[in-house]
Amino acid sequence: MTRTYLKRACKTPATDAGDVRETVEAILADIEAGGDAAALRYAAEFDRYEGDVILSRAEIAAARAQVPEQLRRDIAFAHDNVRRFAEAQLGTLRDVEVEIRPGLVAGQRAMPVTTAGCYAPGGRYSHVASAIMTVTTAKVAGVRNILACSPPRPGIGIAPAIVYAADLCGADRIVAMGGVQGIAAMTFGLFGLPKADILVGPGNQFVAEAKRILFGRVGIDMFAGPTDSLILADATADPEVVAVDLVSQAEHGYNSPVWLVTDDRALAEAVMARVPALIDALPDLNRDNARAAWRDYAEVILCPDREAMAATSDAYAPEHLTVQAADLDWWLEKLTCYGSLFLGEETTVSFGDKASGTNHVLPTSRAARYTGGLSVHKYMKIVTWQRSTREGCRDVAEATARISRLEGMEGHARAADIRLAKYFPGEAFDLRGAD
Report in angstroms the alpha-carbon separations of 191 from 52, 185, 308, 337. 10, 7, 54, 41
Cβ burial, residue 154 (10 Å; 0-12/13-18/19+): exposed
Strand order in the sheet with 258-262: 4-7, 299-302, 258-262, 229-233, 320-324, 340-343
Cβ burial, residue 74 (10 Å; 0-12/13-18/19+): middle
Give dist(CA 352, CA 348) in Å, integer: 7
Listed residue (249, 51, 251) closest to 151, CA to CA: 51
Residue type for position 171 = A
> What are phi and psi for residue 97, nearest 5 degrees?
-140, 125
State the catalytic residues: 319-320
Helical pair 394-407 and 410-423, crossing angle rounded to 10 deg: 160
Q: 159: helix, coil or strand?
A: coil
